[in-house]
Amino acid sequence: MVWYVTGSVVATAVHLVLPVSVQPTWYFLVALGAAAPIGLALRQTAPADKLPGRLLLLAQLVLSAGNLAAVLDAAGGGTEHGPAELLITLGHVCALGSALTIVRRRGRNDIGGLVDATLFAMAVGGVLWTTMIQPRLAAGGIPVGRQVTVLVNILVLTGILGALVRLLVTAREPLPALRRYIYALVLSLTGNVALALSKGFLTADRPVWVQMTFLLTYTCLGAAALDPSIQTLLRPGPAPVDRLTRGRLAFLGAALAVTPILGGGRQLLGLPVDGLLLVGSTVAVVPLVMVRIGVLNAERARALRALTHQATHDGLTGLPNRTELMNRLRSALRGDTRVVLLFCDLDGFKAINDRLGHLAGDELLVQVAERLAGCRGTGDTLARYGGDEFVMVCGESAAEATIRRAMSRPFTVCGEQVAVGASVGVVAARRGTDAEALLRQADAAMYAAKRARSIVGTREGVDRS
């Protein structure tokens, strides 16, 4: 990396003393040189992690194409800056896509934080635009089309910067590559603002110091790509918790309110209303706000599902718990089909649990649950009733024999083979049978089977249909 940074800085210094006629070509070549380290880093990246690097390389190539268009325009003595401006804008958009991809992969569940940071950064860019840049452009007679290009670039660059700063703040490990990426964006934003204030264009008649600022931007991008931490940056990272606290909510509300307040304030003061900012910020902000709302809604739904599952399922085996069993049993008894209830109690489990320990007992219960789950038919319910008791709600009693065969095979716990049996009480009922009464009958049938030292005991339930 040292050789690249040294060479790039020397090339930037050389640019300062070159003849004016040579500077555009030299600028293009030095800027294009940043594509090499980015491409090298991309070759060393795992296929699944290449997308951010590809977008960054594409951004670099499109920006270089914009620089080339500016060179050709200058060589022809023309004043048509449109193609170069458009290419540079597209390059910034590609860079934004790369940054968003990196942040999404690194943050994963931090999309809300990304949106908040981007909105705030764009609000800062809007303030910069309406207080400093737009008045200068309007006073200079810059066409509206050119003003739109400058505004888009300012909003895109500030949005990228906000997203990456958020990523740096939430990082749990040093990421020098990310810091250099941020330095590059700060330099690029500085150069673009300076150009907009002095010239009104992003490509025409750049002062030498602005050109050097942009060349240092490319140097930082290349240095970021050559740092070993770039591979960590391109990989999915930890998932920070997205807490929309009151402070963050106020922060987000202030960012959203900036543009309308500025627009209204200008009108109250008798100044021209900045229609470009109002339209541009609306186009940029509304989709981000919708994404933010969608993220919050998805998180709420995910939390609700998690809480519901926790309340209705056993934490050890993942099977429905007693509460969910009763709900499903009552629902089944309201139907027209025959309901068979199998109440299973393990034989010999206590001895194994006492001898091998509770952890081994838990492991055995998980294996039993998995094996019993294989005995279910379509639409059947297997639940853990408590301790070493399991209950199955099904439409036929054939599962009884299946359970007997399943439990006849030994289990392997802590490297030791152990055997447990099952006493099974079976009752049948139809529509209208009381769920609690049916469960008590199944429990009694199970204890009868256990007293008789039988694998299966059967007792018909009362048909109240």
Are β-strands 416-418 and 381-386 bridged in parallel, bridged antiparallel, or unpaired?
unpaired
Q: Domains of the chain: which residue ranges?
A: 2-308, 322-458
- Contact predicate 228/45, CB 8 Å: no
The top-scoring range by mean pLDDT among 48-57, 267-276, 396-405 is 48-57
- pLDDT in the model for residue 325: 92
- Whether residue 134 is predicted with pLDDT greater than 50 in this model: the reply is yes
- Whether residue 454 is predicted with pLDDT greater than 50 in this model: the reply is no
Describe the strand order of the beta sheet including 339-347 as a list of residue ranges.
Answer: 381-386, 389-394, 339-347, 421-429, 456-458
Q: Tokens at residue 353, please? A: 């649990």
State the Cα angle at 48 between 183 and 223, rounded to 5°.
Answer: 25
Mean pLDDT computed over every residue of the chain: 81
- pLDDT in the model for residue 249: 74
Q: pLDDT tens-digit profile of 152-182?
A: 878 888 888 888 888 888 877 888 999 998 9
Which of 446, 455, 357 has its CA nearest to residue 406?
455
- Contact predicate 449/455, CB 8 Å: yes
Q: Domain spanning 322-458: which CATH class is it, in words?
A: alpha beta
More confident residue, 172 or 342: 342
Q: pLDDT tens-digit profile of 344-362?
A: 999 889 999 999 899 999 9
Q: What residues pair up with 427 in beta bridges, in sequence order? A: 341
> Percent helix, strand, coil in the chain (nearest 5)?
70, 10, 25
Q: CA-CA distance, 275 to 262, in Å (whole number)?
A: 11
Residues present in the chain in total = 465
DSSP 54-71: HHHHHHHHHHHHHHHHHH
